[in-house]
Each structure stands twice: as C-alpha cells, then as structure tokens.
Amino acid sequence: MAARPVPSEMTLLTLSGGIALLLLGAEGLVRGGVALARRLGVSPLLIGLVLVGFGTSTPELVASLRAALAGSPGIAVGNVVGSNIANVLLILGVSAVIRPLACEPRALSRDGVMLAFASLLGAGVMLAGTLERLVGAALVLILAGYIVQTYRRERVAPDASAEMHAQEATAGEPGPKSLGWALALAVGGLAATVVGADLLVDGGLALARAQGIPETVIGLTLVAVGTSLPELATSAVAALRGQSDVALGNILGSNIYNILGILGLTAVVRPIAVPAEILHLDIWVMLAAVALLLVFARTGRRLSRGEGAVLLGLYGLYLAVLADVF
C-alpha cells in the first residue's frame, strides 16, 4: 500500500495558524465579553448561562457555517458531532484525570436532562438525512426557550444549577477593567475567531484532498478538536483550580449549544445533507458518550480519575475505529 504524501508546509501552516487564532480569539471574546457585561451590570447568572456558553462555542459556529457555505457538509456536521464527542470523552476525561470533578445532582437534574434531550433530538433530525431551514429554526427556538426558562427560574429561586451557571462567569477572569478595552478585546476576539475558523476549514479541506482522507473524518477529528480547544482550556484550568462547577457546566452547556444553536443556525443559513458515515457510526458514539457521562456523574456524584481515564481510553478507541473504517 503506497504511503500517503506528506502534507505541504502551507497546509500545515494554515492549520496551525487557524487553531492558534481560534484559541486566542475565543479567549479574547469570552474575557472581553464577560468584562463588558459586568461593566453594563449584567448578572453573573446570565453571563455564565449565555455569554460564556456562546463564547466558547463560537469557533464551532463559525467553522460549521464556513464549511456549509463552502459546500462541505462532512465538515459542517462532523464538526458539531465530533466536538460533542471530544467534549465528553477527551475534555472531561482530561479534566477528571487532572482532578476528580464533583457533580452536584441537583445541578445535573436540569442541564443533564436537557443535554440528553438535545442529543436525542439532534440524532433524530440528522437521521432524516437532510437538515432543512425549518428544522434548524425549530432547534434555535428550543435553545432560546431553554435559556429564557432557565434564567427566569434561577433568578427567582436560585439553586445548585444557578450556582453552577454563575460560577461559569469566572471563566472570563481576569478581564480588562475599562469599558473601551473590554469592547476592543471582544471585537478583536471575534475577528480572530472568524479568521481562525476560515483558515482551519481551508486547511482541513486541503489536507483531505491531498491525503485522500474523507472530509467527514477531518470534520469529526481535526476540525472538531481544533474548535473545541476553548472548552479544553476552560475546563482544564477550572479543574486545576478545583472549580468542578465550571469544568462540568462548560461542557454541558457547550454540547447543548452545539446541537441546538450551531446545528440549527447552520441549517437556517444553508440546508445541508448529513453524510451517511455520520449516520452509521458517529451519532451513536455521541449518544453513548452522553449516556456514559450521565451514569458516571450520578452514580458516584463525581467524575473520578479512573472514570476520566476510561473516557480518554474510549476516545482513543473511537479514533482508532475511524482510522480503520475510513
């Protein structure tokens, strides 16, 4: 079997530049946005529930939109499914290995159920084969309804879930003190994220064509992990600081946003066909990862180092299966 050609220096430079800009851009967007929101008097609850969740998911959104507009559904859909798989198996696995993550059952009772619902709904609409604009709009409306309902409930009667969302607001600290610098950092972060996503998708497409790798595999792995780096940074740092609420809440929120918000908005902008490969394997891996997370979180009320190692091992197995299948 002939060896695949080595990727060109330009392709590697495009990919590495895109990943670096995505990480720096998302960091700037979250820090600047959180500082701006605080200066404007927005509550930590709303910051954690909306701003941090959307901020860390911006790379996935921009990358999927860019891929859909470029006519690459394998990357557009694979990015969302692959990111959700990586968030649970890779990022929570790494975070739990760093430090066991306490899981407050009451905090999981709503966000965990919502994650399971969103995952099942996402799998259901993908199994239809095509994501139409109407379906995308419905997903976005469900996300908006969830955010509004959660905010109203937690503002009136704060509970463990409200505390988890409020703690997520610390992900943007320390941030700029002045309003002008906060705005500049947020805008600069958004611009870097857009450019980074563009480079990552372009580099991924070039790599797929040069190496004969299906675009879907690139979307599920390289693009998915690249766009998930902000979640990895946020959760790993939170684990080091002993902030289990931030580490876990960041992943729960990101996966909900990915399916309802990113998949929904991408379909609204441009209806896309779901690649058959994703229907045969990857959506089932995504559902199994969510189920395993909820079982681990509820049985011992924490994710232990051993469970984190299991998650990491399963991610390695998933990558091996992808390599073997494709």
C-alpha to C-alpha distance for 290 and 89, rounded to whole angstroms: 9
Whether residue 4 has pLDDT greater than 50 = yes
Do the beta carbons of residue 206 and residue 125 sit within 8 Å? no
**Among the listed ranges 129-133, 255-259, 297-301, which one has the minimum average pLDDT value?**
297-301
Question: Helix (H) and strand (E) counts for the chain?
Answer: 17, 4
Do the bridges between strand 272-273 and strand 101-102 make them parallel or antiparallel, or are there none, so unpaired?
unpaired
- What's the pLDDT band for 61 if we cut at 50, 70, 90? confident
pLDDT tens digit string along 131-160?
999 999 999 999 999 888 877 776 766 655
Mean predicted confidence (pLDDT) in 271-283: 93
Mean predicted confidence (pLDDT) in 281-301: 89
Average of per-residue pLDDT values in the chain? 82
**Angle formed at CA 45 by CA 39 and CA 50, multiple of 5 degrees:** 85
Do the beta carbons of residue 13 and residue 206 sit within 8 Å? no
Task: Let me know if 237 is exposed, middle or buried by CB neighbors in 10 A (0-12, 13-18, 19+).
Answer: middle
> What is the 8-class DSSP label of residue 272?
E
- Half-sphere CA count of 110, side-chain side, radius 13 A: 18
Tell whether omega for the bond before 5 is within 30 degrees of 0, i.e. cis: no
Closest C-alpha among 256, 255, 262, 275 to residue 126? 275
**Residues near 10 by beta carbon (within 8 Å), at least 6 away in sequence:** 206
Per-residue confidence (pLDDT) for residue 107, from 0 to 100:
64
C-alpha to C-alpha distance for 132 and 49, rounded to whole angstroms: 27
**Residues near 250 by beta carbon (within 8 Å), at least 6 away in sequence:** 52, 53, 56, 168, 171, 231, 234, 235, 238
**Angle formed at CA 230 by CA 33 and CA 104, multiple of 5 degrees:** 90
User: Domains of the chain by range and CATH?
Assistant: 9-163+176-325 (1.20.1420.30)
Per-residue confidence (pLDDT) for residue 198, from 0 to 100:
83
Mean predicted confidence (pLDDT) in 268-286: 93
Whether residue 105 has pLDDT greater than 80 = no
Per-residue confidence (pLDDT) for residue 1, from 0 to 100:
42
Whether residue 42 has pLDDT greater than 80 = no
Per-residue confidence (pLDDT) for residue 132, from 0 to 100:
94
Whether residue 88 has pLDDT greater than 90 = yes
Mean predicted confidence (pLDDT) in 53-74: 84
Tokens of 239: 């684990």
Whether residue 227 has pLDDT greater than 80 = yes
C-alpha to C-alpha distance for 237 and 235, rounded to whole angstroms: 6
